[in-house]
Each structure stands twice: as structure tokens, then as C-alpha cells.
């Protein structure tokens, strides 16, 4: 794919690094995000309190939950699915104070589910460190029927709502946690471009 220009709403993910100036630290990771947690644990460990949440995923390369539990000085709560983890996170957030730093790692869909929970208590997007791990799979919002399609791996995906073939544009809505999906053959119905696996 040639990129003549880039769309600035497309999130840029970085590597997690502890912030030294913090009142506490909250780490939330899923699946292959376990690798990002392990990389954090190789850095100088914070002197402030650390709370950890980890969601196991059958798709992950390793059973990171066990490795993290044996290495991490603080307890990492381990969950079997994202919903339970987010419910537990909401309870913990009620006791968090100003100056807490947030670290999120995992698939893009997971990262923005967590960001939405954090936003509900006033944590701004800029104040959440995010590391994308394991997959480039995308969440897509269909502008035509408003349905969300998860885990898109190809440049064009069939909408889970209206079945239209959607081109996945790099334009990303943080509010929806999804990329813009636009009917790819609107001008000439049935004429599709070559479809490539660009988000393995």
C-alpha cells in the first residue's frame, strides 16, 4: 500500500514505559499485550503502588498470565474475558486518585474498550499510554447502517449489519473506537478492488 499522506486521526501506538512522576500506576493488558507487560517489568520498577489487570486470550502466543503472575511484584488480577475485567476496572477506578498513570496493551479493539471506560471517569486519551500487540485487526463502523464489525483483517470487509462491502479508511473515531467503513462499490455496484490482508 502506497501512502502519499497519512490521516492524522489514525492512532499512533508506542511502547509502554513507566512514568516516574505518578501517584500510582494502573496496567491493563490482554492476550499478547502480556509481552508489553513483561517489557514493563524489565524496567526499573516504580516506587508507587501498581495495580494490574490481565485478560487471557486463546489467540495469544504464550500463556502470559502465568509468567506475569510469577514475575510481577504486585498482584495482577487475571480474567477469562474482557467484560469481567472492565467491570472490575470500574470498581478500582472509583478509588484511584489524581496522578494515576494508565498503561494499556493488547489488540486495538481492546485498547479502545479500556479507553472508553477510562474516559467515563474523565481520563483523557492523551493521558493513556497504549501499546498495540499481537494483531493489527481493526474495528469498523459502517457509516451507512451504523453497525460495528470486529476483527477485520482485510482492506475490504463485509458489514456485519447491512452486508455491504466496506473499504476501511484510516480515519479513526476515538468515541466509537472504530475506523470509518464506506461502501467500496457504491459508484459501480459489484465492482470490487483487489482485497488484501493488510491487518493480520
In the bound state with another protein, the residue whose beta carbon lies nearer, of 78 and 147, is 147
116 lines the binding site for another protein (CB under 8 A): no
Helix (H) or strand (E) holding 134: none
> CA 69: distance to chain centroid?
22
Please report how close the Cβ of residue 12 comes to another protein at its closest, in angstroms: 12
187 lines the binding site for another protein (CB under 8 A): yes
In the bound state with another protein, the residue whose beta carbon lies nearer, of 50 and 115, is 115
3-state secondary structure (DSSP) of residue 51: strand
User: Who contacts 99 (Cβ-Cβ below 8 Å, separation ≥6)?
Assistant: 22, 23, 24
Count the Cβ atoms, other than its own, within 10 Å of residue 81: 11
The footprint of another protein on residues 6-25 (CB under 8 A) is 7-10
117 lines the binding site for another protein (CB under 8 A): no
Cα 78 to Cα 56: distance, rounded to the nearest angstrom: 7
Under a CB-based contact definition with an 8 Å cutoff, are residues 137 and 107 in contact? yes
Select from 3-11, 40-48, 59-67, 76-84 the region that touches another protein (CB under 8 A). 3-11
Cα 90 to Cα 64: distance, rounded to the nearest angstrom: 23
180 lines the binding site for another protein (CB under 8 A): yes
Of 41, 130, 141, 177, the residue at the interface with another protein (CB under 8 A) is: 141
36 lines the binding site for another protein (CB under 8 A): no
In the bound state with another protein, the residue whose beta carbon lies nearer, of 4 and 47, is 4
Of 19, 39, 77, 144, the residue at the interface with another protein (CB under 8 A) is: 144
The CA–CA distances, whole Å, from 123 to 22, 72, 128, 177 equal 14, 25, 8, 15
Site residues for another protein per CB under 8 A = 4-5, 7-10, 126, 141, 143-144, 146, 164, 169-176, 180, 182-183, 186-189
Amino acid at each position: 500500500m502506497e501512502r502519499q499522506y497519512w490521516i492524522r486521526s489514525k492512532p499512533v501506538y508506542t511502547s509502554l514505559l513507566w512514568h516516574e512522576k505518578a501517584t500510582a500506576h494502573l496496567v491493563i493488558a490482554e492476550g499478547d499485550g502480556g509481552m508489553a507487560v513483561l517489557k514493563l517489568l524489565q524496567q526499573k520498577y516504580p516506587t508507587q503502588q501498581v495495580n494490574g489487570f490481565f485478560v487471557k486470550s486463546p489467540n495469544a502466543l504464550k500463556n502470559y498470565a502465568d509468567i506475569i503472575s510469577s514475575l510481577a511484584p504486585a498482584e495482577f488480577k487475571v480474567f477469562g474475558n474482557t467484560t469481567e475485567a472492565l467491570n472490575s476496572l470500574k470498581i478500582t477506578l472509583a478509588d484511584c486518585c489524581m496522578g494515576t498513570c494508565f498503561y494499556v496493551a493488547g489488540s486495538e479493539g481492546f485498547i479502545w474498550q479500556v479507553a472508553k471506560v477510562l474516559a467515563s471517569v474523565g481520563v483523557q486519551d492523551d493521558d493513556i499510554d497504549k501499546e498495540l500487540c499481537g494483531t493489527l485487526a481493526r474495528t469498523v463502523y459502517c457509516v451507512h447502517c451504523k453497525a460495528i464489525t470486529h476483527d477485520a483483517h482485510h482492506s475490504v470487509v463485509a458489514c456485519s449489519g447491512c452486508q455491504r462491502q466496506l473499504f476501511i479508511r484510516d480515519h479513526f473515531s476515538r468515541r466509537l473506537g472504530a475506523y470509518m467503513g464506506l461502501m467500496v462499490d457504491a459508484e459501480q455496484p459489484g465492482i470490487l478492488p483487489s482485497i488484501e490482508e493488510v491487518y493480520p
